[in-house]
Amino acid sequence: MAFLADVFDRVKPSATMAVAQKTRELKAKGRDVIGLGAGEPDFDTPDNIKQAAIDAISRGETKYPPVLGIPQLRQAIALKFKRENGLDYKPEQTIVGTGGKQVLFNAFMATVNPGDEVIIPAPYWVSYPEMVAICGGTPVIVEAGIETKFKLTPEALEKAITPRTKWFLFNSPSNPSGAAYTRDEIKGLTDVLMRHPHVWVMVDDIYEHLVYGDFVFTTPAQVEPGLFDRTLTINGVSKAYAMTGWRIGYAAGPVELIKAMDVIQGQQTSGACTIAQWASVEALTGPQDFIEERRKRFEKRRDLVVSMLNQAPGLRCPSPEGAFYVYPSCAELIGTKAPSGKIIQNDEDFVTELLETEAVAVVHGSAFGLGPNFRISYATSDELLEQACERIQRFCAALTR
């Protein structure tokens, strides 16, 4: 009898975590590796937020919190949704988790039965299908390729829905592509969903504040109020507030669903760290002006990376609307020979040879369900990004037929 659970037959390790670990190992050996795999801002948490945590410690806010979150943070979350998204949630319709990842897991664990289907557009964040699989569901992957700017079309969504569809998982701006849906594009999808009342909508808005140019962010329940009662809107403080290590995510949705997620979390981890919760209260209710300044810096980095990658022989890099990723295609380079003599047969070969030859760590696109592409996180300094892109240009130029 096997000791490990059968779930490991259908669940893969996180590719992004693997790249981060490989980068750390090579750096420890003295390699001058530029890591562009991590999905976290290089900025520090703002001082007022850090001070709120210090103040919470000084006040003795170090006891077990309520499973659903401290009342002050749940109130701040409700106010945030009203202020920024025009969504009327009461505090009792909110939940706080140990990062957005736990909130997603809670929702799937509370609702997915064996055989239930969850529609996930590809490219997708690596953890989405694995979460569904762990919970016994069936991920239904629908490709949204470069020809549609990595955005799912209403026709493709309609075709994917079956009587067993439980959720449609929507992430805009997207990890890994950075693609963000306009209000009209979301309306096209919500029109489809309105025709299928058995399908619920799980919305991951974690990159909400990182959109560029004149793009205006909207979220499905805001675009189509008719979906409000079957939508779970998930967000967190990690990206916009540079609080990845604080591990606070949150969501709002129908009370019945929130209560079910409360039961799951209560048996799993209980409430999230009280100190991080008080810091998050300050994040959501304190000064927001730094977000715009950092957004402009991210936009400048995006433009730099897109320009330089499109100058690399054989790469094609669309300019995304949001997040801090680009998702270039290396399709033209499949079949070429690397300086090591290895033939590049797929995107995983491409990123492996790039790391070995030029010490630039990126994540292969097939890990996100769509290749031959690779993901670059530009959440690092302009200087490192420029060096990395020069190395990528040099690597691509060295590939031969």
CATH number reported for the structural domain that contains residue 299 in this entry: 3.90.1150.10
Q: Would strands 374-377 and 325-326 be described as parallel, antiparallel, or unpaired?
A: antiparallel
Give residue 38's pLDDT band: very low, low, confident or very high (50, 70, 90): confident
Residue 56 lies in a domain: no
Indicate whether 99 and 202 sit together in one domain. Answer: yes
Together in a domain, 137 and 206:
yes
Say yes or no to pLDDT of 2 above 90: no
- Whether 140 is in a domain gets the answer yes
Q: What is the pLDDT of residues 48-77, one digit of tens each?
A: 999 999 999 999 999 999 999 999 999 999
Clarify whether residues 232 and 346 are in a common domain. Answer: no
Helix axes 274-285, 71-85, angle to 10 degrees: 30
Predicted confidence at residue 345, as pLDDT, reads 97
**pTM of the shown model:** 0.95
The 10s digit of each residue's pLDDT in 300-316 is 999 999 999 999 999 99
- Residue 185: closest CA among 343, 322, 290, 316: 322
- Out of 255, 285, 315, pick the residue that ends a domain: 285
Contacts of 24 (CB under 8 A, 6+ apart): none
Is residue 57 a part of any domain in this protein?
Answer: no
pLDDT digits (tens, 9 = 90+) for 256-271: 999 999 999 999 999 9
- We report the CATH number of the domain holding residue 178 as 3.40.640.10
Same domain, 108 and 202: yes
**Same domain, yes or no, for 211 and 96?**
yes
Examine the domain organization and report whether 273 and 294 are in the same domain: no
Least confident of 38-42, 171-175, 347-351, 366-370: 38-42
What is the number of domains present in the chain? 2
Residue numbers of the domain that contains 300? 6-44+290-396
213 in a structural domain: yes
Mean pLDDT on 341-365: 95
The sign of the dihedral angle between the CA atoms of 161, 166, 171, 176 is negative
Domain termination site, one of 270, 285, 300: 285
Q: For residue 339, which of 326, 348, 352, 324 has the smallest C-alpha distance?
A: 352
Same domain, 122 and 152: yes
Domain boundary residue among 240, 264, 285?
A: 285
Same domain, residue pair 297 and 187? no
Q: And the tokens for 257?
A: 């669903």
